[in-house]
Amino acid sequence: MARTPNPIKSGKHYTAVDFGAPAQWMEHVLVRPGRGEMAGKIFIKENLGLTGMELSLNAAKPGQDVPFLHDHKQNEELYLFLDGRGEMQVDGEKIPVGPGSAVRIAPGGLRCWRNNGKEELRFIVIQAKAGSLEQSTGGDGIIPEQKPVW
Ligand code: ZN
């Protein structure tokens, strides 16, 4: 049975959801209308109410690969690898990946990945509109007078 995201709590300015530990991500099943089901993948934008990005949590078994290339019209993607060993392919170039590897791919880059290691490959993919970030961190952050109370 597929793992179901478990809402933790939400408020005026936040939504918190438990998607399971990375070792459990293989239990997520993505249903793709007309294209069957895919184990080990869940998109989390809807669960969290994200408005400026899409994210997926991914797990792949040893030997698993994506049998097609894909591209995006306007979103850049960040693949952030947590566990296992694998390879990404972008525009025909192969990139070895493992824990801590991050790969950015701009619109126009034909991409896919494979798990060529001996363990489960686990990674997060973040999508956001290329060129949309106007400021971040110190430029966007605000530190009010109010202090945290635990
Ligand atoms: Zn993509």
How does DSSP assign 95-117, residue by residue?
A: EEE-TT-EEEE-TT--EEEE--S
pLDDT (tens digit per residue) in 25-72: 999 999 988 988 999 999 999 999 999 999 999 999 999 999 899 999
Q: How much distance in Å is there from the Cα of 70 to the middle of ligand 1?
A: 6
Mean pLDDT (whole number) for 85-102: 98
Q: How much distance in Å is there from the Cα of 119 to the middle of ligand 1?
A: 23
**What's the predicted TM-score (pTM) here?**
0.94
CA atoms of 5 and 34, how far apart (whole Å): 23
Q: How much distance in Å is there from the Cα of 71 to the middle of ligand 1?
A: 6
Q: How much distance in Å is there from the Cα of 110 to the middle of ligand 1?
A: 9
Q: How much distance in Å is there from the Cα of 12 to the middle of ligand 1?
A: 31
CB 27 within 8 A of CB 42: no
Q: How much distance in Å is there from the Cα of 10 to the middle of ligand 1?
A: 28
pLDDT (tens digit per residue) in 98-136: 999 999 999 999 999 999 999 999 999 999 999 999 999
Look at residue 82 and give its three-state secondary structure. strand
Q: How much distance in Å is there from the Cα of 144 to the middle of ligand 1?
A: 37
Looking at this protein, which amino acid is placed at residue 56? S
Q: How much distance in Å is there from the Cα of 1 to the middle of ligand 1?
A: 26
| The predicted structure's pLDDT at residue 138 | 87
Is pLDDT at 5 greater than 80 in this prediction? yes
**Residue 108, by phi and psi: left (phi above 0), alpha (psi -120 to 50) or beta?**
left
